[in-house]
Amino acid sequence: MRLIIAEKPSLARAIADALPGAAKREDGAIVVGDTRVTWCLGHLLEQAPPDAYDPAFKQWRLDHLPILPRQWRLTPRPKARGQLAAIRRLLKQATTVVHAGDPDREGQLLVQEVIHYLGWKGPVSRLLISDLNRPAVVKALAHLDDNARYQSLYRAAETRSRADWLYGINLSRAWTLIGRQAGHDGVLSVGRVQTPVLGLVVRRDAEIAAFQPRPFHVLWVNLAVEHGQLRAWWHPAEHHPLDDQGRLLERPPAAALAARLPGASGQLARLESQHKRQAAPLPYSLSALQVDASRRYKLSAKAVLDACQSLYERHKLITYPRSDCRYLPEGHLTLAQKALHGACRGDETLDRWLGGADFSRRSKAWNDKRVGAHHALAPTGTRPDMSRLSNSEANVFRLIVRNVLAQFYPPLEFREIKARFEILGEDFRAQGREILDPGWKPLFATRDEAPPLPSLREGESASVIDQGVEDRETRPPEPFNDASLIKAMMNIARYVEDAEVKRTLRESDGLGTEATRAGIIETLLERGYLVRQQSALRATRTGAALIQALPEAASRPERTALWEQRLTAIAEQDAAPSPFLDGLIDDLRGLLDAADTQRMRQALTTAQGLDAPARKARPTSRKRSSGPRQTGNAKPRTRRRKVPS
């Protein structure tokens, strides 16, 4: 009997539907001929808690730290025991096993750890599916691979899981205990990704709070030229009081020049015109989609991920969504026209855009060399029933289809124009652009283009018909929202000060992964470290205090982004995990040595931030620890909260 183990029930159903023969359900599986298709429910196993290694660790004590397992153990998740038992029973009957986890690091881990945990010693094949439509699944079933080829991917995921446990368990216990000593009643969770993300928000909020607006002044003129009118702006010479961005800091020079301008004339001293072509934006990765959907539709990162999962699993309208790639396989190019015709026929807007597509075009999006375990998000070709989609699902679907459809539109062509006028011996500048061919742009436009400059000729005269001085102020940085925080996590090198690390991180995948970024934001909200103010994400007092109390290295992105590089080396270059884990343990010891009650007390006293919304207390029959609070040795009452990753 062949046993196929899928990552989740929806994938198991898609596999069973693609197998020849009639399918019937049995306990924990679908039977099709001599094949049984069973499933996990996400992770069926998790890292064992500290007290599984030593019962003494059930009590939280600083002198236990760091807790370092010698022989790692997994334990079933409480709600997964029934399905785990079903897989155990099926494995006893199997002659071959097929691993059908999602085609990524975590998908490799969560099925393979079950196979190892249940003691299977026989052959294992690997089934890679990124599209749940029947033709794609049939094709994947015909091209099974040897699971041994993916052992380095498994080791990377296993190493990530162990490293997260070491980091989260030890630092969360340490800072919770010193927090108790400093008067904070509750768990202070620390994670290798969530804490640097919180640090980004806390530091941005601090910049906003400390910001001192500075006035500056701008002078504009409306000019009459040979073929119309335009507005130009004064560029003061360096002898005027300017800031580092060339803004005028004192009003009198602008006011004095404005008083001389009525009736003045000059000439167009220099005209620059450059013809430019701009290709369509690439198809989406998940994070790029989350950024655009947040900006356009005010959707949270989690709402976009949930919509994508539904479009993939329930409606089968898009390919695998948790992708970090923005390119498509070259082999998909010949199938794209049929897929887009199917995807667009259920929607008036998409159908109109389809009419402008030229399928003889080939953009740079089709590139096998840029495709890894996943390709960019794309429509499967299934015709959508838009009446069955929620507003969020419909909007996200249109974005995904639009970005693939745009690959068959011509480039945007425009002429960029820069004009410099000399009037009364002063420099005035104007710039604009003239659209020559809108190409793909109408599919993306949300507002009208600014009117182009009139036709200009270098040396022509210009007369002042109006002028004015505007008094402005510098503005603080914008608070993070879902779009900007996801973008910051994608481009984390911008927030790194060390030049060498910055260069290295420009080539990395950023902070977190496509599959985890939305969850990280939601975790910080659930734990009361962030709050939403309309669309803005702001730190709470507790979140700000935690960042202030931690060593700076624990709240900055360098460490965790470099972690991802080390894990990638394990996955792609078969690097050994042990040097990475040994280095992490050395780091942990240094961080634990920095746990300081006085610093925690000071942070709790001085932290600036918002109040977290009150959360309902969870009923529990567990007795409170009778240990003395002031020693920091008692187990906190809220220990049941999950330790972060």
Which residues form the catalytic set? 320
554 vs 528: CA distance, rounded Å: 19
Residue written as tokens 């993939």? 312
Q: Is 308 helix (H, G, I), strand (E, B) or coil?
A: helix
Sequential DSSP letters for 40-83:
--S-SEEEPPGGGT-GGGGS--GGGPSP--SS--EEE-GGGHHH
Helical pair 151-181 and 577-593, crossing angle rounded to 10 deg: 10
Nearest CA-CA partner of 524 in 114, 201, 94: 201
For the beta carbon of residue 405, count every other beta carbon within 10 angstroms. 24
For the beta carbon of residue 480, count every other beta carbon within 10 angstroms. 23
Residue written as tokens 């499933």? 39
Q: How far is CA 37 from CA 30, 135, 483, in A?
A: 5, 18, 39
The secondary structure of residue 481, as a DSSP letter, is B
Q: How far is CA 47 from CA 50, 73, 523, in A?
A: 9, 6, 19
**In this structure, what are the phi and psi dihedrals at residue 317, rounded to the nearest 5 degrees?**
-95, -20
Q: Is 124 helix (H, G, I), strand (E, B) or coil?
A: strand
Lookup: tokens for 160: 């990530």
Residue written as tokens 């984390």? 492
Sequential DSSP letters for 425-441:
TEEEEEEEEEEEE-TTG
| Residue pair 113/74 in contact by the 8 Å Cβ criterion | yes
| Alpha helices (H) along 252-332 | 252-260, 286-297, 301-309
**In this structure, what are the phi and psi dihedrals at residue 3, rounded to the nearest 5 degrees?**
-115, 125
Cα 458-463-464 angle, rounded to 5 deg: 125
223 vs 226: CA distance, rounded Å: 10
